[in-house]
Structures are given as C-alpha cells and as structure tokens.
Amino acid sequence: MKRICVLGAGSWGTALAILLCNNGHSVTVWSIDPEEVLMLMDYREQRDKLPGVMVPSTIDFTTNMEVAVTGAEIVVCAVPSPFVRSTMKSVSKYIVDGTIIVDVAKGIEDKTYKTMTEVIEDECPQAKVGILSGPSHAEEVGRGIPTTIVAGSKERDVAECIQDTFMNETFRVYTSPDVVGIELGGSLKNVIALAAGIVDGLGFGDNTKAALMTRGIAEIMRLVIALGGSMETVAGLSGIGDLIVTCTSKHSRNRNAGYLIGQGKSYQEAMDEVKMVVEGVYSAKAAMALAKANHVSMPIVEAVNEVLFEGTDAKEASMRLLMRDRTTESQNLEW
C-alpha cells in the first residue's frame, strides 16, 4: 500500500482517486475549492463533473495542501494544464527528494511552450516525474469500464512504479520512455478534437471527420518527430488511441466545445457552456508556435487558431484546407 496525494478534485482527479483507493492505496485528494471539498465529503460524489459515481468513504478530501502532500510517496497532478505551474510552485516545499509526481494533465504551457512534465521539473526539481496518458475518459474510468493507457518516464523504474500502482483488472497500463511523444500526442489531439467538433457542428459527414482525424495524426507525427519523439508512440495509445476517443466521444469536452464553435459560438461561449476547462483552446497557440519554430507544416492546427483567435468563419477555414495546393499523401515515399 502506498500513500498517494491527488491534486485536483475534478472528474479526472476523482476517477483516479477512486481507482487508486480500489487498488488498496491510502488516498488524499486536495482541491483549492472549499465548496468542492464539502460536496465530496458530504455526498461522496463529484456531483458537478462525475455524477453517479460514488466515492469510497476511505478517501480523504482537504483544502490544506501541506496535509495532503506531506508523507505522500506519489503525487498525482490532476489540475487543468493552465494551473499546473502555479500549483506545483505551491506544492514544491512539501515534496521531498525522490517523490514521484505523475502528471495526468494534457497541454502545452502558453508563452513558454513547455510540456507539463517540463513545467513540473522546473518547479519540483527534487522529484521524479512521470506521465499517464491515453484514451481514458474519467466518466468511464470512474465506473471501472475497461481502459488501456501508457505510463511514461525518462527513468524505467519510475514508469514501472506508476504501472504497478495504477494497473488492475480493468485499467491496463503499458510503459514507455518516450515522454516527448506521449505528451505531445496528449496535448495536440485536443486541438484536433476541437477541429473534429467544428466539423460536426458545421453538419459535415463521416468522410470529413475521418479525413480530419487522419491528417491530424499526420500533423502530430511530424511535430513529435521534429522534437525527438517516436513514430511508434504516435501510432500507440497516447497518439492515435487518444485522438480517436477525444474526437468521437460524447464525453469529450474538446469535441463538444468544437461542436458549439462550429454552430457559431465563440470559444469563450463554448467553454462557458461546456463548464470545464477546454485544454485544446490553451494548447492551440502553443502548438502553432512550436510548429513554426521547428518548420513543421500543421495546416489543421493553423486553421483552428484562425477560427479561435482571428475571427475566421469555420466553414471558410474548412474550405481553405480543402483547396490548398495539390500534394502527395506521404513525402517519404518514392515513385
């Protein structure tokens, strides 16, 4: 049994806390929101974000970060990506050497263009950092629906510790050393999922969406390889797997927000209606900046940025993508 702290009591933090508790670990969940903590303590249910999933009575909830983190062998960072740096800056003084921090937020930091594990390493250099990513909606993990995911770290023993801690009969965990590939796949698929939702909102069909997802994964692969990641990772759970579930699922906040944008709402109106942090909105600008800095062509990501931040009509952006210059599907194949 390990002592584990989960930072963040949203849908994903709550679902993972339930999973870890059911695996026999001692779990404390921290939230910055006193009302959220009271709700979880009183009703044993995340009524706002994970309704219908009951929380075991043995999980503790607190707003006291020191109480939550002190003595924890593993800290799970489940706050939304825009708040990872500020949270880890506050938590760093309670993290002892060798503590494993598992990032489960997906995103690229605005302005610095760093991934979440890089942000955590900046703020908590004394920790060992890993990541857990893949096709894994909280609404299903919380209910014990079979799910498969990947644990990544630069150190094999850290990835294997995460695997051993989280894995059970309905939650299968693979390991990988390709942290770059895992993180970029998890972040960029949110941008492509926004585009997939926009396609749905515009009333286009299955052909359009399949094309968008396929060309989207090609864009992700180009950037991952340019930044030192592996093509195999993009073809795996944290790449294609996560892209499929995020572009198609009713649970996907990014796809749902994109749908509203396709129907004419602004990104802020869409986020307000979804009532959750839509991480693809925050990652879109950073993804475009990384693409330009590394001379990588990402026309879908560029079109999403135009729709989100430049007021471009979604249908016009879609037509512009279709009417680009003729080219081959793969630049690496010879006649």
Give Dmax over CA atoms of the chain in angstroms.
67
Please work out, in degrees rounded to the nearest 5, the angle formed at the alpha carbon of residue 243 by the alpha carbons of 242 and 245: 65
- Kindly give, in sequence order, each residue whose CB lies less than 8 Å from that of residue 270, ignoring residues fewer than 6 positions away: 257, 258, 260, 261, 278
Rounded distance between C-alpha atoms, residue 163 and residue 172, angstroms? 8
Tokens 């396609």, residue? 199
Task: Tell me the C-alpha distance between 210 and 217, whole Å.
Answer: 11
Q: Which helix (H) or strand (E) holds 156?
A: helix 156-166
Catalytic member of 49, 128, 189, 285: 189
Known catalytic membership, residue 285? no
**297 is written with which tokens?**
């062509």
Task: Output helix, strand, coil percentages for the chain, rounded to the nearest 5.
Answer: 55, 15, 35
**CA separation for the pair 15, 251 (Å, rounded):** 14
What lies within 8 Å, CB to CB, of 175 at 6+ separation is: 150, 151, 152, 153, 156, 159, 160, 162, 163
Catalytic residues: 189
